[in-house]
Amino acid sequence: MTHLTDLLAAVARGVDPGPFALLRRDGADDLELFTGPMEAVERLADIPLPPGPPGARALAVVPYRQITERGFACVDDGAPLECLQVREQHRIALADALAALPDEPVRAVDAAFDVTDEEYARTVQRVLAEEIGRGEGANFVIHRTLNATVQGPPLVAALAALRRLLVAERGAYWTFVVHTGTRTLVGASPERHVSVDDGLVMMNPISGTFRPVAGTPDREALLRFLADPKEVEELYMVLDEELKMMATVAEHGGQVIGPYLKEMSHLAHTEYLLAGRGTRDVREVLRETMFAPTVTGSPMENACRVIARHERVGRGYYAGVLALLGHDEAGRQTLDAPILIRTAEISPTGRLRVPVGATLVRHSTAAGEVAETHAKAAGVLAALGLGPAAPGGGEEQGRGAAQGGGHR
């Protein structure tokens, strides 16, 4: 607890404490604090995997442009692959962290999407007609970015947003702040991309989104969502694509578990769990699973070409991963990597970016996917003072119907 207190005291004085990560993983009762130097590397294979004592770790911040390692197309924006070499790590009880983190409203102004609703709707229509309609693929994820300016010290805002996410956003796989010195990421990602523990490789594709009207559960609306052809097709397509990845990284076979319903504060999703046994280096596992079809589309290589054609701007860290690498007590490699969605990026000058996307399939409508991008940003925007908190005051209040769509 002392180290967190010291870090927060430095932030309160306006002093940059240096690179750190503060994260809650998979609903744990405590948070992990990592500090150490930051290093930029070129390839996933260059991520320094600490050979030292059990518990030694590295935390990689992997941008979307790393997809080029697989030979896939992307708009290369130069976002660096950065690695936090963990020198110190501490565990902080959730209650202690909530007591220490800044409990103050976050103020952000001048919020607007980089692509208007009308422009995004036209892009959706083009992808449906020119790509899906002509057989280029079954589903594609197209993103847009909400930009704003944070008022006050950016690190204080990020830590205050983290506290609000810890309190308000249930069901997240990771809830985190990662500060590299040149950017700060804060978010609550619902989706494990891939993990490795004791030789067990796991992937957790999540698809479809149910948005209760005004936060009110509606059994009939939920049943309609679960039977909706768009939602069913989307979930099966991402499952099929991730099974191909699992066949590569879990060479000793595995199984599919599910589907399940995953409930969060603003939304509910459908999901599967894939588990299998493998022996690959965890950095190879990362490379062979770049990136989740839930944030790109399928088939994967075509999806990357379509994304580059229609987005025309780089994705930064959106659709990439955080990756915590290390060794267990027996010396076996470990990996835990959530997808970077539902995440805000804040620059040292207070520039705020919240990228969001929607999955387009043949049953999509332009209006529905525009609405989806607004919904995807809701949890992070609420934490940043740019939207209502759940439940009851959710972003769908007043729209009159629950809607489905991709979960990005």
Residue 391 lies in a domain: no
- The pLDDT tens digits of the residues spanning 5-35 come to 999 999 999 999 999 999 999 989 999 999 9
- In degrees and rounded to multiples of 5, residue 193 shows phi and psi of -80, -60
Of 262 and 44, more confident: 44
Task: Share the mean pLDDT of the chain.
Answer: 89
Confirm whether 226 is domain-assigned.
yes
From residue 383, give the alpha-carbon distance in Å to each of 106, 275, 386. Answer: 7, 33, 7
- Considering the domain boundaries, does residue 33 fall inside one? yes
Domain contains 353: yes
Note whether residue 173 is domain-resident: yes
Cis peptide before 190 (omega within 30 of 0): no
Task: Supply the pLDDT for residue 382.
Answer: 84
Residue 88 lies in a domain: yes
87, β-bridge pairs: none
Can you tell me the distance from the alpha carbon of 11 to that of 39, in angstroms, rounded to the nearest whole number?
Answer: 22
pLDDT digits (tens, 9 = 90+) for 355-389: 999 989 888 899 989 988 888 777 788 888 886 65
The closest of 99, 310, 277 to 197, measured between CA atoms, is: 277
In the chain, what percentage of residues exceed pLDDT 90?
Answer: 70
Q: Is 142 helix (H, G, I), strand (E, B) or coil?
A: strand
Q: Which residues contact 399 (CB under 8 A, 6 or more apart)?
A: 213, 371
The per-residue b/e assignment along 161-175, b for 16 or more CB within 10 angstroms, e otherwise, is bbbbbbebbebbbbb
Report how many domains make up the chain: 1
Give residue-wise pLDDT tens across range 139-148.
999 999 999 9
Give the domain CATH number at 243.
3.60.120.10
First-last CA distance in the chain: 34
In a domain, residue 128? The reply is yes
Containing structural domain, residue 111: 2-383
Is 239 within a domain?
A: yes
Instruction: Give the CB-side neighbour count of residue 25, counting CA atoms within 13 A.
Output: 15
User: What is the structure's pLDDT at 268?
Assistant: 78
